[in-house]
Amino acid sequence: MRRPLVMGNWKLNGNKTMVAELIKGLEAELNGVEGVDVAIAPPVMYLDLAEQLLGKAESKIILGAQNVDVNLSGAFTGDISPDMLKDFGATHIIIGHSERREYHEESDEFVAKKFAFLKENGLVPVLCIGESDAQNEAGETVAVCARQLDAVINTQGVEALNGAVIAYEPIWAIGTGKAATADDAQRIHAAIRAHIAEKSEEVAKNVVIQYGGSVKPENAEAYFAQPDIDGALVGGAALIADSFAAIAKAAAKAKN
């Protein structure tokens, strides 16, 4: 059985007050909610504060981050290593987000390198894949996702996906309010799983595949009702405690 994972990607948002209030709100809202893993990825600047607050609350919320470098230490100005993330209790690390692919020109190969580096260092990669609007219009969605996944599979073997998380995020649905329909998302998730199954049915069966792109409390239930959608990677709605908690609760309800 795959355990659902609802993760909040806070992106470049927040300050100390907001971090404290959001975590306090989440603790209250998620009290007693079982059957779903809930993770947050604040800006790296606030990991220390988040770790302290989660620790004080004896929280079950998993701490994550939004990026990692491919070096452990040395002359790499501005970068953050897996060891540093671990030092602050972060375990689930988002890589390959379309915003990093676009604004930082991260290639499939570079993202795959990050994937390998996270695994080597005992962290969980949350690998984002997904197509642009133009690729969607051209019917290239599955091919794009397969190519992005193959960058990992062809260099590290399909088994590398064991214990990792895949987040399917159509770029045209991110922050636009124009979410994929639950049926369309299910179709793509099934195709992604089938692509992995060509190499290993076992890995395909066990890997968690999240949907991301304008997930809100209003549409979350429809996604989680789909057999191949195992949770969500949430942007905007993850910045509001009751919205994010409602999405996590919808996953707990639908998957148990």
Residues tagged active-site: 97, 169
DSSP alpha helices (H): ranges in 60-123? 82-87, 98-103, 108-120
Task: At 64, list the tokens.
Answer: 């994550």
Work out the angle between the directed axes of helices 182-197 and 217-224 (0-180°, nearest 10). Answer: 40
The span from the CA of 3 to the CA of 1, in Å, is 6
Residues 128-147 that bind ligand 13P (CB under 6 A): none
Q: For ligand 13P, which is the closer residue by CB, 64 or 236?
A: 236
Out of 61, 180, 235, 244, point to the residue binding ligand 13P (CB under 6 A): 235
Q: Which residues contact 85 (CB under 8 A, 6 or more apart)?
A: 44, 47, 65, 68, 93, 123
Out of 122, 157, 163, 175, point to the residue binding ligand 13P (CB under 6 A): 175
Residues 176-195 that bind ligand 13P (CB under 6 A): none
- 204 contacts 194 by C-beta, under 8 angstroms: yes
To 5 degrees, how large is the angle CA 7–CA 33–CA 215? Answer: 35
Residues 194-233 that bind ligand 13P (CB under 6 A): 212-215, 233
Q: Least distance to ligand 13P from the beta carbon of 99, Å?
A: 7
31 annotated binding-site participant: no
DSSP state at residue 157: -
Other beta carbons within 10 angstroms of residue 19's beta carbon come to 22
Residues 92-131 that bind ligand 13P (CB under 6 A): 97
The span from the CA of 188 to the CA of 176, in Å, is 19
Residues 34-93 that bind ligand 13P (CB under 6 A): none
Q: For ligand 13P, which is the closer residue by CB, 62 or 158?
A: 62
Q: How many alpha carbons fall within 13 Å on the CB side of residue 12?
A: 2
Out of 85, 123, 166, 234, point to the residue binding ligand 13P (CB under 6 A): 234
Task: At 148, list the tokens.
Answer: 């992005």
User: Comparing C-alpha atoms, which of 150, 228, 211, 229 is closest to residue 7?
Assistant: 211
Question: Which residue in the shown chain puts its C-beta closest to ligand 13P?
Answer: 235
Q: For ligand 13P, which is the closer residue by CB, 8 or 158?
A: 8
- What residue has token string 């409390």? 217
Helix (H) or strand (E) holding 79: none
Q: For ligand 13P, which is the closer residue by CB, 202 or 218?
A: 218
Out of 131, 169, 228, 230, point to the residue binding ligand 13P (CB under 6 A): 169
Out of 130, 229, 236, 252, point to the residue binding ligand 13P (CB under 6 A): 236
Residue 9 engages ligand 13P in binding (rule: CB under 6 A): yes
Q: Least distance to ligand 13P from the beta carbon of 168, Å?
A: 11
Out of 174, 229, 250, 254, point to the residue binding ligand 13P (CB under 6 A): 174
- 9 contacts 211 by C-beta, under 8 angstroms: no
11 annotated binding-site participant: yes
Provide the annotated binding site for substrate.
9-11, 175, 214, 235-236
Residues at the contact surface with ligand 13P, assessed by CB under 6 A = 9, 97, 169, 174-175, 212-215, 233-237
